[in-house]
């Protein structure tokens, strides 16, 4: 399993870095900018995409609890 983050912050990549540092995010976060909204059909923030073999298999809009995310990930691993 790999996790990555994509920032669409209009203020650029520097805007997200203090948050990444404060939360001690343990996966890479890339700045893509506003063009990601259209390209990836983002309609909520945060937006979680589950990708398998290069295909989006599920989208989860909005904030989720750690327990809900763990349950979702475990379910997808059983596929």
> Can you tell me whether residue 1 is helix, strand or coil?
coil
Q: How many angstroms separate the CA atoms of 10 and 58, rounded?
A: 26
pLDDT at 77 over 90: no
Give, in order, the Cα–Cα distances in Å from 66 to each of 13, 37, 55, 58, 70.
26, 25, 24, 17, 6
pLDDT in tens, 19-55: 999 999 999 999 998 899 999 899 999 999 988 888 8
Prediction pTM value: 0.75
For residue 79, name the pLDDT band (cuts at 50, 70, 90).
Answer: low
φ, ψ of residue 6 in degrees (nearest 5): -125, 125
């Amino acid at each position: 399993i790999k996790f990555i983050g994509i920032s669409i912050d209009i203020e650029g990549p520097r805007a997200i870095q203090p948050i990444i540092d404060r939360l001690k995010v343990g996966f890479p976060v890339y700045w893509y900018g506003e063009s990601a909204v259209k390209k990836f059909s983002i309609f909520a923030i945060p937006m979680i995409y589950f990708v398998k073999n290069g295909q989006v298999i599920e989208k989860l809009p909005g904030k989720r609890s750690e327990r809900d995310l763990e349950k979702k990930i475990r379910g997808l691993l059983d596929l």
